[in-house]
Amino acid sequence: MNGIPATHGIDLVIDPEDLEVALKNDPALVDEEDARRYHTGLWAVSMYRMSHELWIQGRKEEARDINFISHHITGSDIHPGATIGKRFFIDHATGVVIGETAEIGDDVSLYQGVTLGGVSFNKGKRHPTLGNHVVVGCGAAILGNITIGNNVRVGAGSVVLKDVPDDCTVVGVPGRVVKMAGIRTRDEDLMHNELPDPIKVQIEELENQIAELKARLDELQKQ
């Protein structure tokens, strides 16, 4: 792990794999130095790793101090108790919230405004578990003690409340599987600028049913 000069009172330590994945996934980055100094997502991940190491050592106050500073610097709130795997990427840290009992696998990417939150005040496992190679679009919320499988993609703005199997694409509010193992379950896909509108779909279905009923009524009246 490599450090950079102290900034904001923090001697930031960056995991080379986290740095590599940031450079790979964010075309806006100029070079390594640019990423080290100014990429808020990389700062959020790196400060989380520092705080998590202190947390598991039982130095919880120090861990919370780093978490608090990270929240102010990056706009994200990643609890030191969360468990996060290798090559974790956040593209813009603003608004990202990860709860204490969340578990995240390797090669996971989150976009701005993602919440991995709880729906219970119980002290036990109350946050989601994400597998490997998961991508969560901006503004999406994954809530509760649920499991998101490997190779899952969650569309922007979706709200996921139930388990999702491996190799699926999930969109909507509430989230639903629209593709499984590369096969569409509905005529929808994870195009963040073309996400399905479930209310619009229901209205269109009702309009079609009304049109059919009117046509039948017209036929009966003619008879």
Provide the residue ranges of all domains of the chain, joining segments of one domain with +.
Answer: 2-193
How far apart are alpha carbons 43 and 51 in whole angstroms?
A: 12
CA end-to-end distance (rounded Å), the chain: 83
Instruction: Give the strand pairing for 115-117 and 97-98.
Output: parallel
Report the Cα 51 to chain-centroid distance in Å: 20
Predicted local distance difference test score (pLDDT) of residue 9: 61
pLDDT tens string, the chain, 223 residues long: the values are 444 444 556 678 899 999 999 999 999 999 999 999 899 999 999 999 999 999 999 999 999 999 999 999 999 999 999 999 999 999 989 999 999 999 999 999 999 999 999 988 888 899 999 999 999 999 999 999 999 999 999 999 999 999 999 999 898 888 888 767 655 554 444 455 455 555 666 788 888 899 989 988 888 888 7
Judged on CB neighbours under 10 Å (0-12, 13-18, 19+), 183 is exposed
Phi, then psi, of 200 in degrees rounded to 5: -60, -40
Residue 1 contacts residue 16 (beta carbons within 8 Å): yes
Helix (H) or strand (E) holding 18: helix 16-25
Q: Report the SS3 class of residue 127.
A: coil
Q: How many CB atoms lie within 10 A of CB 167?
A: 16
Predicted local distance difference test score (pLDDT) of residue 189: 40
Instruction: Give the strand pairing for 97-98 and 77-78.
Output: parallel
pTM reported for the whole predicted model: 0.77
Predicted local distance difference test score (pLDDT) of residue 2: 45
Residue written as token pair 């120090």: 62
CATH code at 2-193: 2.160.10.10
